[in-house]
Amino acid sequence: MSLELVAAALAAFVLLMPSADLALLAFASMRPSRKSPPFRRPGPALSVLIAAHDEEAVIGHALARIAAVDPSVRAHVVADNCSDRTAAIAAAAGACVHVRTDRLRPGKAAALNRLIAEVLEEDHRAHAFAFLDADARPETGYFDGLREPISRGARAVQAKNLVVGTTAPLTRLRELAFHLKCDLRPRAYDALGLSVGLHGNGMCLTREILRRYLWDERSVVEDGELHLRLVRDGIRVALAPNATVRSPMPTTFGEGAGQAVRWERGKVDLLADAFRLMRVGLSSRRLDAIVAAYDVLIPPLSFLIAASGVLTVTALVMGSTPLLAVGGLALAACAVYVGRGLALARLDLASLLGLLTWSAPYLVWKVALFLGTVLGAGRGQWSQARPQARE
């Protein structure tokens, strides 16, 4: 076999296969939702859990929004290693506040483990617990949307976790990214009867699950790590299609860098867990485990587009038909995936033009962050985005 064909085969494995998988998910997301029995209120009792670290600028707005959407929901906030007025503001807003000061065990996972241990002993009313970020804005009907799948027996549920839209180009690009990762993919996996994943903000777990599982305090993406464990144990995360929560996003590359590094670092850190789950899925012939593991192994979309573009240009310069076919097909598959995300985001013409203008610097930024995390950036660090507080 010639070196050219070997390179084409390698590129097909690294670029074309994951890109084709994304295109297939785009088509699967178009399938109509499976019909379910009508939801009968009031449904199971819910409480909210929020881990907050120096969130005085946003925690009051989040709690007010929760109360406006459903006054019956009790909110528990852990003020984790805070140096500001987070605890006082949360208490004034009517939340049950748990103060945690432990500099030796920093991070969101440790804060959640402490909060859950206390809440399970104190809040005996709730059947399930919704996890929200300190700046989250649940939409009308959010809690009833979570109650629907739980009332039908789901033990783990994920709502649609989306972005508060602004005119800032970076926010628009993040809005599209969230529709791809937290809307399109869950829709597709739900249509296929598979686990839809956990995305942190907007997830809901029953008391049974919280008693059985602890968050991994070594992980910077504790939600993704828990999802792999749930799938390994045969527990499917169900989609709550009628529940949507939104959060503000950074408007500049500088503001968003820390959060983006954490996300990319999380994918790298989960690779070993994903390979172990893949081995379990292949040995036991479990499609759910194989798919959940492969979802983690898919490279970032920015890397797929950039690498496929470079491969296509290189193939044209070299006159290599095999490489050109792989690069062109990978780009086409990515275009299908992105096109479906644009349809879900329902962006207007001006926003689409803005995306085109900023897509190149965004790709360069994302690829640089991804390569940095591969080389070790962000290891063991839990970073927050710090967008300006808005009403």
Three-state DSSP at 77 gives strand
pLDDT over threshold 90, residue 151: yes
Dist CA 94 CA 137 (whole Å): 17
pLDDT over threshold 60, residue 257: no
DSSP state of 387: P
34 vs 208, more confident: 208
Q: What are the structure tokens assigned to 17, written together?
A: 């296969």
Q: What are the structure tokens assigned to 156, written together?
A: 């783990």
Name the burial class of residue 357, with classes exposed (0-12), middle (13-18) and buried (19+) by CB atoms within 10 angstroms of its CB.
Answer: exposed
pLDDT over threshold 50, residue 388: no
Q: What are the structure tokens assigned to 262, written together?
A: 């954490």
Residue 173: what residue type? Answer: L
Dist CA 296 CA 319 (whole Å): 34
Please, which pLDDT band fits residue 186 given cuts at 50, 70 and 90?
A: very high
What share of the chain in percent tops pLDDT 70? 86
Please, which pLDDT band fits residue 260 given cuts at 50, 70 and 90?
A: low
Please, which pLDDT band fits residue 390 given cuts at 50, 70 and 90?
A: very low
- Give strand pairing partners of 281: none
Three-state DSSP at 389 gives coil
Residue with token string 């945690």: 100
* Dihedral sign computed on CA atoms, order 111, 114, 120, 122: negative
326 vs 345, more confident: 326
Read off the pLDDT of residues 75-132 as tens digits, 9 standing for 90 and up. Answer: 999 999 999 999 999 999 999 999 999 888 888 999 999 999 999 999 999 999 999 9
DSSP string, 25-44: HHHHTTSPPPP-PPP-SS-S
Q: What are the structure tokens assigned to 18, written together?
A: 């994951």
Angle among Cα 345, 259, 362 to the nearest 5 degrees reads 55
pTM of the model: 0.87
Residue ranges of the domains in the chain?
Answer: 3-30+297-374, 46-273
CATH number at 46-273: 3.90.550.10
**How confident is the prediction for the chain on average, in pLDDT?**
88
Q: Are 47 and 119 in contact (CB under 8 A)?
A: yes
pLDDT over threshold 50, residue 389: no
Q: What are the structure tokens assigned to 100, written together?
A: 């945690």
